[in-house]
Amino acid sequence: MSHQEPTPSAASGDTSAVVAPAGTFRGAAAGGVRSWRGIRYAVAPVGGLRWRDPIAAEPVEGESDATVYGPACPQSANPSVPLGDDVVLDEDCLVLNVWAPEGATAPLPVMVWLHGGAYTFGSSSQPLFDATSLVRTGDVVVVTVNYRLGAFGFLDLAGLLPHGGFDRNLALKDVLLALRWVQDNVASFGGDPDRVTVFGESAGGGLVTTLLATPSAAGLFHRAIAQSSPASSMYGVDRARDVAERFAAELGIDPSDPSAADALRAVPAEDVVTAGMAVYAAIPDVAPGTLAFAPVVDGALLPEAPVTVLHDGRGLPVPLMIGTNKDEAALFKFMKSPLIPITDDRIRQMFADMAADNPGLDMPSAAQVQTAYEDVRQRAMGLGIARDIGFRMPTLWIAEGHSAVSDVWLYRFDHAAPFLRLIGLGATHATELPYLWGNLSGGPKDPTFRLGGRRVAEAISARMQQRWTAFAHGRNPDAADAPAWPAYSVDGAGGARATLVIERQDAIVDDLDGALRPAWGDQVLDFR
């Protein structure tokens, strides 16, 4: 994973340059949309800067070729997360990409995308996140961002080696720096820095809800969209130290050795990834329901657990769109992933660990929780519990609390193409993404529409894009020829807790989760 600069290539279409405070960037144009790719927003976090806070990049001298993606951050190969053709892996990966409509005259709303991937995989270069369709449909500027992943971005070595010259919450700081870059530069690309919506899915959704609980993020964005956020998967410094200890042990480095800090900085990137993946697999096995890598509740940058802050109505007062997918956990079962506990024994251990972490909390009983799944087949109950403790309930706790300080719109994505229903995935984790981005084809080998459903999918995609971009414009998130989507209200007149159900035909359902809330209770369940 040695450093490799993007190779300049001839741009097609309009190659006129944009002059911004960060430099002059030559992009490309196609289909009525201009794009600029691989723009560096931070100094390369390599050598002595590995595991240190990001430093803003200096303005680029001369004209910079911005027609190709920059490197993706180091990670293990994952066939379910294609990073794009010819994309290299490199620690020097703190880059972003910008899309904007051609010929725009007025400053447009900006949507800043944070990709998912369990805080360990993914990149802004993924073909799925080509913003051409979203920009063309919604008349917005879209920015997609790389942030450090896995052990590079979420490992807390500062707790393990407090005098080793390490910083913590590096990936979160990467995102904050990228948002500052947007504030300083996006006007040059046609965007309005006073109308920035941050949006993300899975780990990216977790970063969005984390930003809402990060005081220093105030003013960097003005609206937020959190899709399938694992909002409760944030832990304190003690758990983070345990992860760091495991990581050092994987590398054979003794933290008590005076040279430990230097030894860690000297580890080849490939070995950091390998050790990180070993820890990534081990942590959910010994502590079901937890992740090895996630933002750390450090008492400083992130003073408290985000889900608690938002449940209490103490988050940044910006409008929020938030939701999950109907069958979130099915993907993790299909992939035999350890990230979500599904079996009875692992679920029991998870609840026992939560109770130990929260000795003063009145935990719901097994019988109480099971009342929400009385109509579910026994073998599917674990999937339902895993889905709800991992995604749906944290989303509901946030919607309940944040609606007291700002407008909230709650959704559930229920649609699944016939093939996905046939193989038992349904509307599982991440299946809404092709619809949002308008990139429904995953390539010639994509089986999603093998049994039909493409035309229906295109109609759903059009409505989702209309709703998401209307929200970014500051309007109600409505779509043509579809029900108006009312804001979520705990005690609204005419029907409380309105929820958009996204399907072949969208529907507004009052208190869609009415059976879940009393079963799980209104106290936040999480780990410390």
The C-alpha angle 348, 352, 353, rounded to 5 degrees, equals: 120
Indicate which residue of 202, 229, 232, 403 is catalytic.
202
- CA 357, chain centre distance (Å): 26
Which residues are CB-neighbours of 273 under 8 A, at least 6 positions away? 74, 75, 76, 150, 151
Q: How far apart are CA 225 and CA 205, in angstroms?
A: 7
Q: Left if phi > 0, otherwise alpha if psi is -120 to 50, otherwise beta: which for 161?
A: beta
Match 């660990």 to its residue by tokens.
353
Please tell me whether residue 195 adopts helix, strand or coil conformation: strand
- Residue 129 burial (C-beta neighbours within 10 Å; 0-12, 13-18, 19+): buried
Q: What is the DSSP annotation of 261-318? A: HHHHHHS-HHHHHHHHHHHHHHHHHHSTT--SSS-EE-SSSS-S-HHHHHHTT-S---
For 27-57, give the DSSP string: -EEETTEEEEEEEE-B----GGGTTS---BP
Give catalytic status of residue 115 as yes or no: no
Residue 201 pairs with which residues in a beta bridge?
Answer: 227
Sign of CA dihedral 511, 512, 517, 519: positive
Q: Given 115, 222, 402, 429, which residue is catalytic? A: 429
C-beta separation of 120 from 171 below 8 A: no
Instruction: Supply the DSSP symbol for 251.
Output: T
Per the residue annotation, which of 201, 250, 328, 400 is the catalytic one?
328
> Is 185:279 a contact under the CB 8 Å cutoff?
no
Strand arrangement of the beta sheet that strand 63-65 belongs to: 17-20, 23-26, 63-65
Alpha helices by DSSP H, listed for 338-453, are: 344-357, 366-370, 378-387, 393-402, 418-422, 433-437
- Known catalytic membership, residue 250: no
Count, residues in the chain = 528
- In one-letter notation, the amino acid at residue 304 is E
Query: How many CA atoms, within 13 angstroms, populate the side-chain half-sphere of residue 410?
Result: 25
Q: Closest Cα partner for 430 from 290, 335, 504? A: 335
Q: Exposed, middle or buried by CB within 10 Å (0-12, 13-18, 19+), for 491?
A: exposed
Neighbours of 466 (CB within 10 A): 18
Residue 415 annotated to the active site: no
Question: Residue 457: which H helix or E strand, with range?
Answer: helix 454-472
Active site residues: 202, 328, 429
